[in-house]
Amino acid sequence: MKLSTVKLLVPIVAVTIQSNSASTIIPPYLDDLRMPVAAIGSLISLGPVFALASRLPVGMAYNRNRARMLISLAVLAMGLTNFLYSFAGDGMTFAIVHALNGFAYGAVTTLYMAFFVDSLAPEENRNHAMGYYVGSLALGYSTGNFFGGLIADHWGYGLTFQVAALLSLASVGLLWLLHGSSAPAQGASKAKAGTKLSVRDSLKALLEPELAVVVVVALFLNLLHQMSNVFISLYCLAVGMSLTQIGVIRAAYAGCNAVTRPISGHVVNKFGHKNLSHFGLPLQAAFLMLVPLFTGFGTILVVYVASSLMRAIVVVANAVGLVQDVPESKVQRGLASGVYNASGDLGNILGPSVGGLIAHAMGIGGVFVVGSLGSTALFFLVIWLVRRMRGQESRA
């Protein structure tokens, strides 16, 4: 990995530490406010809903020349909402703050993915670079989860949210201090052209079959991830674990991703990104179905980390698919980033919402069994439908 790529990765690591220091304690924070599990799932889903609302407009407005300024503003907005979480003591206030946080987070991640790809040095291996990118996200998740749980356990929820807010200043500082390589001349011309992208062209791009497959995988990846990520905290609380132990479990989950994602590019090259995208996700679901069989810290840690290993490989495989199978000649960079991240947001919305309904009807343990099994079956059904539609288009 080139030094210029490392410089591009450091700010997004800081952003994910900031985001996850706050998000890791939100489920137990809401539980501490004595909200029912179904309401917790619905409230948490508001963040992804508003992140989804930001994706396409931000993606269409993307321009490399002004990306750093827009990213900075969105990161500061995230910091402000992190601070306001500490004053959200009722459902309505929390819903407003969480919705604004989700919108800002959606803008940051949409802009930064396009900015990262456009800023890569021409000689950098882009497939491996995507592994580094998603690995750096996992590194931020791991660090943020651990320190979020640790600070909340010792100093309370309010201070944790406020510390996360202060981290936004560090994220912005790193973004301006560390300059990546300049985009190639052709990248600059494409970015300029991207500003003229029409709504009609955007909607047409959404129908590209190559992009549709990437979208489906990203959707179900995040559905499983968010469903388990929200309810693992509540499950661990129910079996008597501390917030620090919950933070360790979530940090280990993200840490496995951080280690595995950068080296998964070699696995993807060997087995093919399409095969791994289609069959890695059901294996992740199978591991999650084992969670309710255990109540001990060590066993749950092992099973949950095993599920994260499969998720890491599929995330990299799908990111490679976005780069390889979706050419910029068909789908503009900012729009592709917006659609890719929007599909993940849709999974983030469905995960807590569906999980909350399952938990209300069958208990928290049922989320991991029924939710994982149902998600896998639906995933294969949607993939089959996409393939069938693509086959009909090719024959036509």
- Highest mean pLDDT among 101-105, 149-153, 323-327, 383-387 belongs to 101-105
Q: How far apart (Å, rounded) are the C-alpha atoms in residues 296 and 189?
A: 56
Q: DSSP for 183-196?
A: PPHHHHHHHHHHTT
- Highest mean pLDDT among 85-89, 180-184, 210-214, 311-315 belongs to 85-89
CA angle 91, 23, 117 (to 5 degrees): 130
Is residue 123 helix, strand or coil? coil
pLDDT at 226 over 50: yes
Nearest to 136 by CA among 8, 229, 228: 8
Q: What's residue 350's pLDDT?
A: 85
Instruction: With cut-offs at 50, 70 and 90, classify the pLDDT of residue 393.
Output: low
Instruction: With cut-offs at 50, 70 and 90, classify the pLDDT of residue 192.
Output: very low
279 Cα distance to chain centroid:
20
Q: What is the mean pLDDT of residues 48-57?
A: 85
DSSP state for residue 36 in the 8-state scheme:
-
Rounded to whole angstroms, what are the CA distances from 281 to 224, 238, 341, 343, 379? 9, 27, 18, 15, 9
Axis-axis angle for helices 209-238, 273-288 (nearest 10)? 20
Q: What's residue 323's pLDDT?
A: 73
Domain coordinates in residue numbering, the chain: 3-395
Higher pLDDT, residue 30 or 187: 30
% of residues, the chain, pLDDT over 70:
87
Cβ-based neighbour number of residue 293 at 10 Å = 12
Q: What is the mean pLDDT of residues 171-186?
A: 70
Q: What DSSP element (H or E) covers 27?
A: helix 26-32
Higher pLDDT, residue 285 or 337: 285
DSSP state for residue 329 in the 8-state scheme:
T
pLDDT tens sequence across 230-250: 899 889 989 999 888 888 898
DSSP state for residue 124 in the 8-state scheme:
S
Residues, the chain: 396
Q: What's residue 15's pLDDT?
A: 93
Q: What's residue 207's pLDDT?
A: 63
Plot region of 272 (φ>0 → left; ψ -120 to 50 → alpha; else → beta) = left
Q: What's residue 78's pLDDT?
A: 95
Q: What's residue 198's pLDDT?
A: 52
Q: What's residue 254's pLDDT?
A: 74
Instruction: With cut-offs at 50, 70 and 90, classify the pLDDT of residue 391.
Output: low
In sequence order, the 6+-apart residues with CB closer than 8 A to the CB of 155 are: none
Is residue 208 helix, strand or coil? coil
Extract the tokens encoding 244: 């620090």
pLDDT at 28 over 50: yes
* 261 and 312 Cβ atoms separated by less than 8 Å: yes
Q: What is the mean pLDDT of residues 288-300?
A: 93
Residue 191 is which amino acid? A
Q: What's residue 193's pLDDT?
A: 43
- Highest mean pLDDT among 12-16, 226-230, 261-265, 354-358 belongs to 12-16
Q: What is the mean pLDDT of residues 195-220?
A: 68
Per the prediction, the chain carries an average pLDDT of 83
What CATH number belongs to 3-395?
1.20.1250.20
pLDDT at 95 over 80: yes
Q: What's residue 265's pLDDT?
A: 67
Cβ-based neighbour number of residue 340 at 10 Å = 26
Q: Which residue has the tokens 């406020």?
A: 162
Extract the tokens encoding 170: 């560090």
Instruction: With cut-offs at 50, 70 and 90, classify the pLDDT of residue 187.
Output: very low
Q: What's residue 135's pLDDT?
A: 78
Instruction: With cut-offs at 50, 70 and 90, classify the pLDDT of residue 195.
Output: very low
Q: Computed from CA positions of residues 376, 355, 152, 141, in that sequence, does the dihedral angle turn out positive or negative?
A: positive
Q: Which residue has the tokens 């990161």?
A: 75
Higher pLDDT, residue 176 or 271: 176
Q: What is the mean pLDDT of residues 259-274?
A: 74
Q: What's residue 342's pLDDT?
A: 80
Extract the tokens encoding 108: 């940051």
Radius of gyration of the chain (CA): 20
